[in-house]
Amino acid sequence: MRRKVLALTMMTALALSAFGAPAATAGKKKKKAKTGPVVVGTDPADDWGANQDSGLQPVGDALGMELTEAVIEMADKETVNFIIKVNSLPGSGGTPELARYSWNFNAAGESFELDGKFTNYSRGVCDPTSGSCPPPRDPGSAPFFLRGNCTQTQNLVTCEELGIVEAVFDAAEATITIPVSLELLKAKHGSKIAPEAGIFGGTISAAPSAILTYGDFPMDVMVVTETFVVSAKGKK
């Protein structure tokens, strides 16, 4: 039944979008973290939904969920850009409400998650994964929630909402750029941003969701392998 509902939801979203290192050993030098812009992860451009059925890939691609690359760079001296590259995005920019993106990482020794969508009014009303439902609010355009202090209760991971940032969905470049201030990250120049595993394995995921995403949903997962160092130089 769940898969039938998921299929119907994805068809509706398609209609809407039409409109609109290895450890160092003795005698070897440790690998230095890069400062950026840095390609921190890559993924094949044909594997969305392979966890369920490889034939689903065109659907995920059309919805903007086929992950291909991840980049971190300094937007300016006080802001870090987390950039998710996909194989394609709908002409409108993104798929409203359905396509969910998450990125888990560690900044300055603390664990964080970026979680967002092209539009996310469902979680604006109530987000059970935050541990409580805030009063209904408008989350704004292309909202990504910065979350931390996560705990797992039975099968549900709940995280404290630390802030909301507005992402940029660029259909021409097929990129989703998420700017996060150093203040929100509690980081400073010289701090390291390292990959962490998310709830679906990997570091970055793209999966269909209304409010929750189940592990048996078709999705794409990318493993980030590089560490980024926050720089005072900013973006040139």
Is 117 within a domain? Answer: yes
pLDDT at 14 over 50: no
Residue 235: inside a domain: no
pLDDT for 81 equals: 98
The answer to whether residue 150 sits within a structural domain is yes
> Which domain, by its residues, includes 200?
2-14+36-229
Mean pLDDT for the chain overall = 83
CB within 8 Å of 7: residues ≥ 6 apart: none
In a domain, 74, yes or no: yes
Residue range 146-161, pLDDT digits in tens: 999 888 776 677 888 8
List, for residues 32-71, the tens digit of each pLDDT value.
556 569 999 999 999 999 988 878 999 999 999 999 999 9
Number of domains in the chain: 1
Alpha carbon distance 182, 108 (integer Å): 10
Backbone angles phi, psi at 219, to 5 degrees: -165, 175
How confident is residue 215, by pLDDT bands cut at 50, 70 and 90?
Answer: low
234: in domain:
no
Asked whether residue 12 carries a pLDDT value surpassing 80, the answer given is no
Q: Is residue 67 part of a domain?
A: yes
Of residues 235 and 15, more confidently modeled:
235
Q: How far is CA 234 from CA 35, 87, 91, 146, 189, in A?
A: 10, 27, 31, 21, 10
Q: Which residues pair with 71 in a beta bridge?
A: 39, 83
Q: What is the mean pLDDT of residues 119-131?
A: 78
- Whether 31 is covered by a domain: the verdict is no
Residue 91 lies in a domain: yes
The pTM score is 0.83
